[in-house]
Amino acid sequence: MNILLDKINFNDLDRTVIFLYGNDVAARDLPLKRDELAFLDGKRKDDISSLVVFNRLPHKIYVQNFNSDLPNNETLETLRRNAAELQLLLSKEKVQRVAVTGQGVIPEEVVAFVEGLAMANYRFDKYKAKKDTRLEEVVIEKHIIDQEALDENIRLWQRIDTMRDWVNEPVIYLNAPRFADILNEQAKGLKNVSCTVFGQKKIEALKMGGLLAVNRGSVDEARFVILEYKPDNRINKKPVALVGKGVMYDTGGLNIKPDDFMTEMKSDMAGAALMASTLFAAAENNLPVWIKAFLPLTDNRPGKNAYAADDILTMFDGTTVEITNTDAEGRLILADAIAYAAQDKPELIIDAATLTGAAVRALGTKVAAAMQQDADGPMKLLLIVADKVFERLAPLPFWKDYDELLKSEVADLINCNLHANAGTITAGRFLLHFAHGCPYIHLDIAGTAFYSKRESFYGTGASGFGLRLLYAFFQMYNVLNNKNA
């Protein structure tokens, strides 16, 4: 979708126009006749979020009412969701070109609305013969926002679409070696970004017991990808380490999933897609933050010499782990990656993973679970931006008491709590062991990464959830860095 700035002429419309009507707009500023204004006023009084349509054949004017007196984050989220509903209507009406304007609106309100349009406009339809009509061009009234600010947002929205493509792609076309190759190719095109890919022999030499074990049932080799974005004007003396779960497809291994739980398991690499996309987005918009991403990639299959319950693994850092469930594989590959990242004592480690069904049962699909150890400041900042961009987080307790549920009689740890209690928290506590004292944040995005039914502007399938959140976090990271200096 092409997004550009231009002047909109209501006397000679060359496309459908969307007019945003908040609480601070004088009626005389609306491009409507007196009877139309009266009709609009009645609709607005009945429903302050209503959409009102006026014909200007062959085009239309859509007036999107909204309540600009809500808290700022609620206003912006409402605009995104309004845009998603309108995008559906425009698609049905085969509209491909629109203009967006308003009077009395502020730039971030217009950006939020266009963001909703852009994200709702996404479709993963490369394998469909008949495709939906999508918006091809959006013009924004040029007095509302400057080009540089718009370009930054456009690059972020394009990166979200690419991330969603990765998560939506079936494993038959996107396995671990192929994904590593794609990441390497994309890194080559970005300034100050490097990519290192460890193949099977290197992973074996490093003795990454978790990644190797999960990979044993697969015919595809594992990969371990390290991305680094190191700008010249970086504000942090040590990098922030991002670790993402990259299970390209999860059958559950020998603890195989029932069929109704196995669909959508192509999305089990959403954490790796998110962390790679965050680093790339930071580089594309020249954020002054040093970031490294550590991405363990494999699928989890029950074939060949697949690892089994009762196995005891020796992890990269020497920790021994008794396997109680082969479907708790994500934490095994993450553990090796976190331990590897912790070697150089980064400023902060953040991991993201579609890790536990317990997170979905506890929190639903509109919020991700968050836990932290020794990272009070970064977590506070993350929660602030989570509310601002409305990709919200639910902080869970992370007490040491939960470690009792991970004790093994025959190894240092078990990989999965044998009881249903505190499954999301104990998974996080398992991973914390491998951070070796580094400030640590764990994000369980199991409920938010992929939707089986349409969820507003996140659509159906891969949502892209988390990228706006982490990008906003790194936009503000200099505030935290300067405060701690």
What digits encode the pLDDT tens for the residues 337-388?
999 999 999 999 999 999 999 999 999 999 999 999 999 999 999 999 999 9
pTM above 0.95, yes or no: yes
Quick one: pLDDT band at residue 484, thresholds 50, 70, 90? low
Residue 160 lies in a domain: no
Average of pLDDT values for 176-198? 98
Residue 378 lies in a domain: yes
CATH assignment at residue 65:
3.40.220.10
Question: Are residues 285 and 379 both part of a single domain?
Answer: yes
Residue-averaged pLDDT of the chain: 95
Question: Are residues 253 and 325 both part of a single domain?
Answer: yes
Question: Are residues 177 and 87 both part of a single domain?
Answer: no
Distance, in Å, from the CA atom of 42 to the CA atom of 150, rounded to the nearest integer, reads 34
Question: Are residues 53 and 137 both part of a single domain?
Answer: yes
Residue 194 lies in a domain: yes
Question: Are residues 106 and 195 both part of a single domain?
Answer: no
Distance, in Å, from the CA atom of 78 to the CA atom of 66, rounded to the nearest integer, reads 8
Question: Are residues 99 and 179 both part of a single domain?
Answer: no
Average of pLDDT values for 86-94? 96
Residues 6+ apart with CB under 8 A from 228: 193, 194, 195, 196, 239, 291, 292, 293
Q: What was the pLDDT predicted at 479?
A: 72
Q: Which amino acid is at 140?
A: I
Q: What was the pLDDT predicted at 26?
A: 63
Helix (H) or strand (E) holding 203: helix 200-206
Answer whether residue 465 shows pLDDT above 80. Answer: yes
Q: What was the pLDDT predicted at 309?
A: 98
Query: Is 234 noted as a catalytic residue in this protein?
Result: no
Q: What was the pLDDT predicted at 76?
A: 98
Quick one: pLDDT band at residue 418, thresholds 50, 70, 90? confident
Domain that holds residue 83: 2-145
Question: Are residues 66 and 181 both part of a single domain?
Answer: no
Quick one: pLDDT band at residue 9, thresholds 50, 70, 90? confident
The DSSP string of 310-337 is T-EEE-TTS-EEE-S-TT--HHHHHHHH
CATH assignment at residue 333:
3.40.630.10
Residue 73 lies in a domain: yes
Question: Are residues 107 and 175 both part of a single domain?
Answer: no
Average of pLDDT values for 131-135? 94
Q: Which amino acid is at 156?
A: L
Express as a percent the part of the chain with pLDDT over 90.
Answer: 91
More confident site: 11 or 63: 63
Counting the structural domains of the chain, the total is 2
pLDDT tens-digit profile of 28-44?
Answer: 667 888 899 999 999 99
Q: What was the pLDDT predicted at 28?
A: 65
Residue 268 lies in a domain: yes
Domain boundary among 145, 177, 210: 145
Whole-angstrom CA distances from 4 to 107, 122, 141, 145 are 14, 18, 9, 10
Question: Are residues 137 and 187 both part of a single domain?
Answer: no
Express as a percent the part of the chain with pLDDT over 70.
Answer: 98
Quick one: pLDDT band at residue 196, thresholds 50, 70, 90? very high
Residue 318 lies in a domain: yes
Question: Are residues 176 and 56 both part of a single domain?
Answer: no
Q: What was the pLDDT predicted at 12?
A: 84
Question: Are residues 192 and 122 both part of a single domain?
Answer: no
Residue 151 lies in a domain: no
Query: Is 331 noted as a catalytic residue in this protein?
Result: yes
Lowest model confidence (mean pLDDT) among 31-45, 150-164, 380-394, 431-445? 31-45
Question: Are residues 133 and 229 both part of a single domain?
Answer: no
Partners of 138 in the beta sheet? 3, 98
Q: What was the pLDDT predicted at 256?
A: 96
Answer whether residue 466 shows pLDDT above 90. Answer: yes
DSSP 8-state class, residue 288: S
Among residues 352, 330, 322, 318, the alpha carbon closest in space to that of 215 is found at: 330
Catalytic residue among 331, 388, 392, 468: 331
Tokens 């039914």 belong to 453
Q: What SS3 state is found at 482?
A: helix
Catalytic residue among 155, 230, 238, 257: 257
Domain boundary among 145, 161, 185: 145
Residue 453 lies in a domain: yes
What length does the chain have?
485
